[in-house]
Amino acid sequence: MSTLHVVNPGLLTTLQDHGRRGYEDRGVPPSGALDELSFAIANALVGNPSGTGALEFTLLGGQFRVGQGGCVIAVTGDMQVFIDDRPVAPYQCHVLQSDALLKVGRALSGARGYLAVAGGFAVEPVLGSVSTLLRGALGGFAGRALVKGDVLPLAAPSQYLPVAARAPGQRLWPQREHQPLRVVLGPQQAYFSPLEIGRFLSESFQVSGQSDRMGYRLTGPGIAHLKGFNIVSDAISTGSVQIPGSGHPIIAMHDRQTTGGYPKIATVIRADLARLGQCKPGDWLGFSEVSVEDAEDLWCERQVLVNAYLDELSIRYGRRRR
């Protein structure tokens, strides 16, 4: 069993998978990769089952020394990648020998990058998931972000040897999409006048520095409430746009609280969550309204496209047995 030694952990690097599902009624948020698309592609590139835990980088990658036995890796997101100081391409798998130095630089666009290792990390799941929940210190490596000196145990890779794969088309780069985030209004749009809802849908907002895996705080024009800003707490979904007393929207992300007491003016649709996950402080956002039916069509179309790409990758692995 090989290892990855953390030489430099980057800004905020955590282990994430496709989330801790089915415990929201017990107050446990889903967590998981903020850009689930780039995360899924990273796993597919090294021949892992979808949903295997991978490292999520935030704005900056990190440096890792490969332990005895070597490993096979892939990095996704718009990240610079170096192996022993030699630049290599993201969106490809690479075979690393023992003692190699893997360096992942900064994100050239977007905020997140993913490092998948063939076989995954040897970490015990907590409530069915290896995702790290920092607030609550659950999952991942000791429930926290990586620190210098960590030794990450790797699980044995599958019997299939990965091959170099074609990089995906731009349609599968969430951070390259620039149209407004699509939302369905509600469920508490009655707390806002039509005029304020109109402003919400037409103004631009900036992602503030007080944004993390729990939520993004937006600056820009405030949205006024019609009838107070406290509601009796109810459930929050990923993508829920809450308007607190200040009038400045907060978009709930994967590590959000499961319940909260601010009215929600709108909710970002699933097809745009990966793109939302790639937003960083300073980015400008706008919102446009779609119907539930359109949101569902967009998600289903997206899944067809993604699954076709992921299937194509796994077929290639299947043909190249070790």
Partner 1 sequence: MNSEEQESSVRIAPIADHALYIDFGEVIDAAVNQRVTALAKRVATAHIEGVTGLIPTYRALTVAYDCTRIRQARLRARIEQLVAEPDAGADRVRSWQVPVAYGGEHGIDLHWLCDLHQLDPHDLIRLHSAVTYRVYMIGFMPGFAYLGGLDERLHTSRRESARLKVPAGSVSIGGMQTAVASVEAPSGWHLIGRTPARSFVPSREQPFLFGAGDEIRFCAIGADEFDDLWAQPDYLPQWTWRT
Q: Is residue 251 close enough to count as binding partner 1 by CB under 8 A?
A: no
Q: Is residue 311 close enough to count as binding partner 1 by CB under 8 A?
A: no
Min dist CB 176 to partner 1, Å, is: 22
Min dist CB 17 to partner 1, Å, is: 15
Looking at 299, 305, 314, 316, which residue binds partner 1 (CB under 8 A)? 299
Looking at 99, 108, 303, 311, which residue binds partner 1 (CB under 8 A)? 303
Whichever of 146 and 185 has its CB closer to partner 1, that residue is: 185
Min dist CB 143 to partner 1, Å, is: 10
Of residues 124-153, those binding partner 1 (CB under 8 A): 126-127, 135-136, 138
The helix (H) or strand (E) run that includes residue 205 is strand 205-207
Looking at 149, 159, 194, 293, which residue binds partner 1 (CB under 8 A)? 293
Of residues 167-206, those binding partner 1 (CB under 8 A): 183-184, 186-187
Min dist CB 108 to partner 1, Å, is: 30
Q: How far is CA 71 from the centre of its chain?
A: 23
Whichever of 108 and 292 has its CB closer to partner 1, that residue is: 292
Q: Euclidean distance between the first and final Cα of the chain, in Å?
A: 18
Whichever of 108 and 235 has its CB closer to partner 1, that residue is: 235
What CA–CA distance (Å, rounded) separates 200 from 186? 12
Of residues 2-61, those binding partner 1 (CB under 8 A): 21-28
> What angle is formed at CA 110 by the lines to CA 221 and CA 77, rounded to 5 degrees?
155
Residues in contact with partner 1, shown as a per-residue x/- string from 209 to 238 under the rule CB under 8 A: ----------------------xxxxx-xx
**Helices and strands counted in the chain (H then E):** 4, 19
Cβ–Cβ < 8 Å for 106, 62: no
Min dist CB 195 to partner 1, Å, is: 21
Q: CB burial class (10 A; 0-12, 13-18, 19+) of residue 85?
A: exposed
Q: Three-class SS of residue 74?
A: strand
Q: Is residue 240 close enough to count as binding partner 1 by CB under 8 A?
A: yes
What CA–CA distance (Å, rounded) separates 317 from 319? 5
Looking at 108, 142, 147, 292, which residue binds partner 1 (CB under 8 A)? 292
Min dist CB 234 to partner 1, Å, is: 5
* Residues β-bridged to residue 37: none
Count the helix, strand and coil residues of the chain and give each as a percent rounded to the nearest 5: 20, 30, 50
What CA–CA distance (Å, rounded) separates 19 from 170? 25
Could you count the other beta carbons within 10 Å of the beta carbon of residue 102?
A: 24
Residues that bind partner 1 (CB under 8 A): 21-28, 126-127, 135-136, 138, 183-184, 186-187, 231-235, 237-240, 257-260, 264, 266-270, 292-293, 295-296, 299-300, 303
